[in-house]
Structure 1
């Protein structure tokens, strides 16, 4: 209800008078104002400038916006774990820290986007650097999706050309996941104690698991790192320690060590590295310009296991400095052998991390192949100090600029350190043949994809494959041969010097090479190389020696090639008695090109020493002349080319260019061959026949033929083998190992008896002697495998016990492989279960162990069933790791060749989303394509192959 309002008569009169007076004043002021406006016109106000709206919401894709450019990170980290756990301590797998990143703002914004994953990030403080003013942070939010974006929203705005700093505190877990900042453990043999350490693996996108950062390769910055770690431990990082480092402080009643490192050069986040451990190191040699050390378990250092790695590092480093024309830019080089490491090694600037088998060599235990692996790993990672660290690819889509170069250069580095090994001759069988297999599938990928095609972590991880590493190296080798090695070397020097501490793409490389080769034709090298890097696959060059015609088309194993895809093919050829028949000719078209040099009544061999990344097919007459030459005098054809002829013939048969019997005919001369490269090419291809037919009636006659062919090679090396020695030549040692492995596999009694006897002598020697019987390290894997395959539970259990007892990584690897060879199903099933237990099979060895079991015909189906049943576990545990899931799918499906197995693969694909497949998505596509090709090939060739082996196994 509303109340009445009453006013007096006097008040009403007074109010009326005041109102009239006010109105009169307003009217008078308005008249005066108008008179002044007429005399003095006012200046119109400025037109307001249009303002660009400040972006809101997350970036439109998975890449960081480019409105902020990092300059420097200042990081303090404290891992809380103890290296040694006593009754008085509880282990703590946690790290805490804070970081301050300074950056330049390019565009006005009120949001900061960087990366953070699995971190608890708190207390953000944003400052403007020119006046130290604190800008108010409105909110901080970590997106729970695959972007890993950490968004810091501001009440204020960042202005263009302004410099700012963002401080955050954070906490994370030290997991045994081999990614980011992770923990590892090992046993101290003399004390029977477990020790712990913490180390990093940032590549490809795991720096964000350690501290908030702009975690993309072209967002380089300087890093200032301080580690606070337990007393009694040593901290290592990319750059040397500050002179004042190593001071002790007390926190919560415990003593800690503060180690501060010098600021790094500008580098990508994925190259940041540090480790905290109780490791010892080799002594740096006096008089050297830089401090070089190898770090490992104290027992390994004291036993001299790191001496070989230490001795060759300086040689290779100096070789690269001369080759590249630039000094190694870090004042020291630490290399550390970690008990657990996801990859073989990681090229972090100044602190290269390795798994133990890639760095530690043990005389009498490690084989010549182990030594070569160590030398190659070191040469590969040292090459990265320039290719990848000094000059980095702009984005992961051109990862091959890092990995292809490091692989290519590693052969030259090893050749310099170990000139008697002839490792450059192994390039074709190790790299070219490896890449050929994957690149002959329609599901292969180009070396250089567009940036838009490579966005997710899965897409990035899938690039760490044989295309990136091996094909990348192969096309660089081809280019260096095409333009000349001296010009290639000079162009590389220019490329590195011009782009040091920055990022590059392939066009930068072509530009600098072109400046050396022919600056007047700026598109020559780019036009040549784009056909090899921007499209997947490779060509088969078809040569008709009857009329001299040459054509090309894409080679695919499924036989459905695309004739419109062309390459610029550098041609080289030799004729009988003439090594320089053709050199430098470039085939660019699909239509026939007539070269009279190719018309001959004698044999012609194209792609001399396989310097070009392509296969060659000939008219039938030329094939028969080449095969006849092999049988009459195989040394008339160079060793590498003999291997390439065999590999081409077998793969052309799979692609239905030639009959399978022609390919098999190339192996008939091998009874007279003792060189490794042709045998390796033959046995790798015959291994495919074994995979396709070892469950069918073809295997019997095939086994008989292989036994007949391998027997002379085995006898050639038998004296060495029986006396547990090896020939002096490095490649001859490989040939000896090939002879033993295949002879035992096909049941040659001299070999199987030798393996059983040596294994039994070794086993018995532990009962009566402190010095066990010595098996030559080169032969251990084969002897363990074939003795366990021929034996029973006792042999397996003994090898398992020795595996558990051994602290030497290379010995454990040999035993781990040998254990997979048993024919007892229940032992293989138990062994598969062990891969789920890190105390039995280390996490980094899980996939190779399962694949070893899958390569055993008795274990293949078991391994496939096991992986399918455990896929969620593997996807959750290993989904973010480079190459893990893809390698697993590739290995367990290698033997698949039936409709039933194909349907199983497709069913597996239907049951799992892209998220659960993770980095196995492309590998699964390739496995399906390969299985379809295998099925078709087996159906078309089984009877022919069976008849050929039956006939040839009975031939005198």
Structure 2
């Protein structure tokens, strides 16, 4: 039974009773794939009650009784009913539980160790002796604790947990807290152990975790010194047997990040230990269970000699993100899923802060501008995006918003606020918030109140539109006038739509954003003026003294989440200043993040029709001497997007794009070469990988021949000839440039690497590259492979098919083939991934990717209509896929003649 909250339409459990403590006993059977369970739940009775409703799903209930704690009178339930649709257990009692009393609810049950990667589930792997093994693991966010034990499965309903696991003697058992007792028990002649864990702090059900499996570990200590009451924390990274050496790097990162956050938040980490576990089957990247963080193997394990630098970065940022949650999410928890962004956006931002603290030379916040910020802008430019804070009525709907808006847009607006308030006032506000609400639940307003207190600014007013409205603004300089050493700018703001076709009704509907303009000029290139745009139209005057090289630029360091449209003459002056700075470093006045934003904005404006695509391409002439990794990465991304959108049009344009890429990247590929050195900096290693990829994938014959030569030697056993950073590139180049028997041989060899290599990131690189094969036969083979659960893990299907729509040189064949395959096999995917909205949504996204011809759009829409309510679990991402395709179609219709003319000229 559900009740309706007066404030909204949320389907939440009745409030007549509330849990204060759960005593959970579980005995998983890794042969039958079931588990026996018992739970005793201490309840406060808030109203006279003869009925209790709790969450339970995918289990069989054997018995239910309730004991009055004071009188010790016990009554068996007269009736108990499971409702699979509501995912509830309704318990009916003969005798009334009195308001103000305390009761103990006891339930015995059997559950399923499913293979769906949520609840209490099984993960399968093959050990070093080739034997198939299983481990029992948990994933309870968002609403899956109910698949493991009956509970009040809502984030606001916190309690303490006492967990006991029964397992085979040789198995490792883990939970949120340390073990306090182990006892041997014999059942049917077989010896087991009962392992009891210490009582947890008060916490939400989605953060409870336990694991049973055969594991190794590495251990280190974290020694925070601030605040004064901080205590040493034992850190362990658990892996499958024989893989623990690969956990050393993440253990070290964990120790240092815990020290950093203890000081940043000024609150000690509240648990005595921190365990991190690599799980072979795991739907998400990682999960922040308090004291027992679970990861995909590839997001936790790293080998200094055999993994790529991209893997090192991923491990560090993922660990930092999950550890941020130990305070922001676990210690202080959102009241309801509508505020999911508060957990995820904040953890993404401060996780990046922690990475930057550990590795300032990585320039991680510049990468943030290329990756997180642009990803957020791209998704939020769609009509079918959603607000950062989005009303969730059914808890089961929440999985759709674990997306770029909650994570990347959330992090971006937090970064903007951090820059606006100043880092110190922001940090002090966060400390107030955590201290005030620890062990409790909050809504977004609570954070705004704390930040207002620390800064003296009305943060809720500033941030209202950024949180409550869909989308973000484009600021247009309508006019600029110079007089008396000043420049007067006439500015407007309106919602940026990447399709560009906003109606007057929509325009009137959108609120006005509060926009920090961050204006820099030749007179003040590194100290932005603190003007704020608060109206739809506003005139601003800034100092603008006479000089030889005058310029004016908005959104310094790209800290604001908006786009800027400049008049052509202002844009050209910025371009000229960039060019001069690249030719002579002493004249550089426009920094890296600003160069990235100039490129990103003009191409986004070209896509929505307020700028011309040929003008955007012409702007790249100012960047021909660019040497910064992140700027080059942005250029490469933009050209790849054009190539992807125009995949099915006249080849002349694609040939001209290749020429443009080679002009910029081939000299750099020549300079960097294929040989990585131990003395390479992190950025140098990434740079070499990027320039070789750009040159090789756009037809640089030298790079292609050398990559194939090295790959053939690598396959024969020369491990040093092909650095881990460019193996994926070599696989892709080989499969992209060969057909027939030679291509099949490469395919077999690369697939063998996927099956046998001991390093997770390298295995997945091999798998990802299979979809890039040019040969028609191999395209079909990859699609068949993706369906084979014996060879491809359920979680890894995306790695298998991503290349078919993105990098394949035979994209005109592979894209339609992927879509046809998806439709044919959809019933299989529906069954396999019935609780995995993220994987189902990604399948549609990848298999429809780029099919922007009108007939394909109609076909996709017809399929979506035919599927009807069956797609409700992924309605949001499906709508976004279709909108993107229509937007691309309109872009081609509008600009095809111009880009073909540009190609002719180029």
Task: Give the corresponding residue for 1:827.
Answer: 778
Query: Do the aligned partners of 1:77 and 1:95 also contact (CA within 8 Å) in 2?
Result: yes
Tell me how far 1:170 sits from its aligned partner.
0.8
Provide, for residues 245-275 of structure 1, a one-character-per-residue CA deviation record: whole Å limited to 9, x for no partner: 2221101111111100000001110100011
Provide, for residues 646-687 of structure 1, a one-character-per-residue CA deviation record: whole Å limited to 9, x for no partner: 000000111222222221122123321111222122221212
1:151 counterpart = 2:90: yes
- How far apart, in 2, do the equivalents of 1:70 and 1:421 lie? 46
Tell me how far 1:440 sits from its aligned partner.
0.1
1:567 counterpart = 2:507: no
Of 249, 253, 276 in structure 2, the residue corresponding to residue 335 of structure 1 is 276
- How far apart, in 2, do the equivalents of 1:503 and 1:852 lie? 42
Of 188, 192, 214 in structure 2, the residue corresponding to residue 256 of structure 1 is 192
Tell me how far 1:383 sits from its aligned partner.
0.4
Provide, for residues 763-820 of structure 1, a one-character-per-residue CA deviation record: whole Å limited to 9, x for no partner: 233xxxxx64441111111111111222311111111122212232111111001211
- How far apart, in 2, do the equivalents of 1:780 and 1:577 lie? 47
**CA root-mean-square deviation:** 1.9
Task: Give the corresponding residue for 1:16.
Answer: none
Of 917, 925, 931 in structure 1, the residue corresponding to residue 871 of structure 2 is 917
Tell me how far 1:713 sits from its aligned partner.
3.2
Task: Give the corresponding residue for 2:898.
Answer: 944
Task: Give the corresponding residue for 1:20.
Answer: none
- How far apart, in 1, do the equivalents of 2:704 and 2:606 lie? 32
> Alignment partner of 1:79: what SS?
strand
Query: Do the aligned partners of 1:239 and 1:332 also contact (CA within 8 Å) in 2?
Result: yes
Tell me how far 1:499 sits from its aligned partner.
0.5
Query: Do the aligned partners of 1:896 and 1:934 also contact (CA within 8 Å) in 2?
Result: no
Tell me how far 1:727 sits from its aligned partner.
7.2
- How far apart, in 1, do the equivalents of 2:673 and 2:888 lie? 36
Query: Do the aligned partners of 1:711 and 1:748 also contact (CA within 8 Å) in 2?
Result: no
Query: Do the aligned partners of 1:675 and 1:732 also contact (CA within 8 Å) in 2?
Result: no
Task: Give the corresponding residue for 2:541.
Answer: 595
Tell me how far 1:216 sits from its aligned partner.
0.5
Of 633, 645, 650 in structure 2, the residue corresponding to residue 692 of structure 1 is 645
Task: Give the corresponding residue for 1:292.
Answer: 235
> Alignment partner of 1:182: what SS?
strand
Task: Give the corresponding residue for 2:119.
Answer: 180
1:615 counterpart = 2:549: no
Query: Do the aligned partners of 1:673 and 1:713 also contact (CA within 8 Å) in 2?
Result: no
Of 540, 543, 552 in structure 1, the residue corresponding to residue 493 of structure 2 is 552
Of 153, 159, 163 in structure 2, the residue corresponding to residue 215 of structure 1 is 153
> Alignment partner of 1:246: what SS?
strand
> Alignment partner of 1:716: what SS?
helix
Task: Give the corresponding residue for 1:436.
Answer: 377
Structure 1 gap ranges (5+): 1-56, 82-90, 766-770
Tell me how far 1:134 sits from its aligned partner.
1.6
Task: Give the corresponding residue for 2:756.
Answer: 805
1:534 counterpart = 2:468: yes
Task: Give the corresponding residue for 1:495.
Answer: 433
Tell me how far 1:581 sits from its aligned partner.
6.7
Of 823, 831, 835 in structure 2, the residue corresponding to residue 876 of structure 1 is 831
- How far apart, in 2, do the equivalents of 1:641 and 1:588 lie? 23
1:409 counterpart = 2:350: yes
How is 1:919-938 mapped onto 2 (pairs within 5 angstroms)?
919-938=873-892
Of 73, 77, 88 in structure 2, the residue corresponding to residue 137 of structure 1 is 77
1:282 counterpart = 2:221: no
Tell me how far 1:762 sits from its aligned partner.
1.1
Tell me how far 1:724 sits from its aligned partner.
4.3
Tell me how far 1:903 sits from its aligned partner.
0.6
Query: Do the aligned partners of 2:662 and 2:698 also contact (CA within 8 Å) in 1?
Result: no
Task: Give the corresponding residue for 1:421.
Answer: 362
> Alignment partner of 2:179: what SS?
coil
1:780 counterpart = 2:727: yes
Tell me how far 1:545 sits from its aligned partner.
2.5
Query: Do the aligned partners of 1:886 and 1:920 also contact (CA within 8 Å) in 2?
Result: yes
Report the CA distance shift for 1:619/1:720 in structure 2 as closer, same or farther (over 3 A).
Answer: closer
Query: Do the aligned partners of 1:646 and 1:681 also contact (CA within 8 Å) in 2?
Result: yes
Report the CA distance shift for 1:575/1:757 in structure 2 as closer, same or farther (over 3 A).
Answer: same
Report the CA distance shift for 1:198/1:460 in structure 2 as closer, same or farther (over 3 A).
Answer: same
Query: Do the aligned partners of 1:889 and 1:920 also contact (CA within 8 Å) in 2?
Result: no
- How far apart, in 1, do the equivalents of 2:68 and 2:706 lie? 76
> Alignment partner of 1:673: what SS?
coil
> Alignment partner of 1:284: what SS?
strand
- How far apart, in 2, do the equivalents of 1:630 and 1:395 lie? 47
Query: Do the aligned partners of 2:523 and 2:544 also contact (CA within 8 Å) in 1?
Result: no
Task: Give the corresponding residue for 2:522.
Answer: 576
How is 1:275-674 mapped onto 2 (pairs within 5 angstroms)?
275-285=211-221, 289-301=232-244, 304-450=245-391, 453-457=392-396, 459-518=397-456, 524-543=458-477, 544-546=479-481, 547-561=488-502, 562-564=506-508, 565=510, 566-579=512-525, 582-597=528-543, 602-634=550-582, 635-674=588-627
Task: Give the corresponding residue for 1:36.
Answer: none
Provide, for residues 316-369 of structure 1, a one-character-per-residue CA deviation record: whole Å limited to 9, x for no partner: 100000000100011011111111111111100000011111111123321001
- How far apart, in 1, do the equivalents of 2:186 and 2:462 lie? 63
> Alignment partner of 1:548: what SS?
strand
How is 1:893-904 mapped onto 2 (pairs within 5 angstroms)?
893-904=848-859
Report the CA distance shift for 1:690/1:702 in structure 2 as closer, same or farther (over 3 A).
Answer: same
- How far apart, in 1, do the equivalents of 2:633 and 2:318 lie? 22
> Alignment partner of 1:447: what SS?
coil
Query: Do the aligned partners of 1:73 and 1:102 also contact (CA within 8 Å) in 2?
Result: yes
Tell me how far 1:502 sits from its aligned partner.
0.7
Task: Give the corresponding residue for 2:133.
Answer: 195
- How far apart, in 2, do the equivalents of 1:390 and 1:407 lie? 17
Task: Give the corresponding residue for 1:59.
Answer: 3
Tell me how far 1:156 sits from its aligned partner.
2.0
> Alignment partner of 2:193: what SS?
strand
- How far apart, in 2, do the equivalents of 1:934 and 1:597 lie? 41
Provide, for residues 697-717 of structure 1, a one-character-per-residue CA deviation record: whole Å limited to 9, x for no partner: 1x4343344334434534334
Of 31, 34, 37 in structure 2, the residue corresponding to residue 97 of structure 1 is 37
> Alignment partner of 2:373: what SS?
helix
- How many residue pairs were aligned? 867
- How far apart, in 2, do the equivalents of 1:572 and 1:536 lie? 23
Task: Give the corresponding residue for 2:744.
Answer: 793
- How far apart, in 1, do the equivalents of 2:515 and 2:77 lie? 59
- How far apart, in 2, do the equivalents of 1:600 and 1:107 lie? 76
Tell me how far 1:949 sits from its aligned partner.
2.2
What TM-score do you get using the length of structure 1 for normalisation?
0.88
- How far apart, in 2, do the equivalents of 1:580 and 1:811 lie? 41
- How far apart, in 2, do the equivalents of 1:249 and 1:70 lie? 30
Provide, for residues 700-743 of structure 1, a one-character-per-residue CA deviation record: whole Å limited to 9, x for no partner: 34334433443453433435433344873323332322211121
> Alignment partner of 2:531: what SS?
strand
Query: Do the aligned partners of 1:702 and 1:950 also contact (CA within 8 Å) in 2?
Result: no
- How far apart, in 2, do the equivalents of 1:919 and 1:610 lie? 35
Tell me how far 1:568 sits from its aligned partner.
0.7
- How far apart, in 2, do the equivalents of 1:900 and 1:205 lie? 39
Tell me how far 1:236 sits from its aligned partner.
0.3
Query: Do the aligned partners of 1:357 and 1:810 also contact (CA within 8 Å) in 2?
Result: yes
Report the CA distance shift for 1:683/1:921 in structure 2 as closer, same or farther (over 3 A).
Answer: same
